[in-house]
Structure 1
């Protein structure tokens, strides 16, 4: 079975986003999202309604708790296509450091990508939830 048109582009966009996150390349990471992207995180009580809002929250985590991503591993990846929209879901194990020490977070993530007129695939929505170890 062949992949739909644009599949490789979405896979590359998802890989680049995850790699930038894992390597702490914040300009590349936040640059992978559309400015009006939305974000829903299980660790945050409210929906974030722009990439700028998320980046400001990230900076607050850094300023208040010396937050850093040390590594991120993506497994069980799935890309589903719906015309000019693609849904990327995966499991992530993220090693982070804060002023309290290091920990590994086990989560599930869904990122929605939308094709632009120039053929790009920016992320327009991210949803992160806790993953059980079972």
Structure 2
């Protein structure tokens, strides 16, 4: 594996770990400001990391939304020059005012290498896993 592959995978792993551990500042710092987000739980595309963060704050304030854990499996990273496509199956345990729930989803995270050789997520697509 190439160094670019390893550093892109490490960036994806850091993003997932920050999400799983509830480190929201680190989680949102893993995204480019103009990143886009397509979630099966929202009615439209989110067009920036700040728009997603505002939605996250709303979930937290209105529903006491909190991530309790997140497990990544069936992982694949495709390196395409300065772009990497990371796909995986994800099992996330969350807590809200309604109680705890386990979510089974599939996710694609597109990363792009910056001039400083860091990798930032530029797109995230989350879909429900088939039963």
* TM category, shorter: over 0.9
Match of 1:73 among 71, 81, 87: 71
Match of 1:46 among 44, 51, 62: 44
| d(CA) in 1 for partners of 2:4, 2:80 | 11
Given that 1:108 and 1:128 are in contact with CA atoms closer than 8 Å, whether structure 2 keeps it comes out as yes
- Alignment RMSD (CA, Å): 0.7
Matches within 5 A, 1:16-27: 16-27=14-25
- Stretches of structure 1 that go unaligned for 5 or more consecutive residues are none
- Stretches of structure 2 that go unaligned for 5 or more consecutive residues are none
Partner of 1:122: 120
| d(CA) in 1 for partners of 2:25, 2:44 | 23
| d(CA) in 2 for partners of 1:103, 1:131 | 15
SS at match of 2:47: coil
| Cα displacement (A) at 1:122 | 0.3
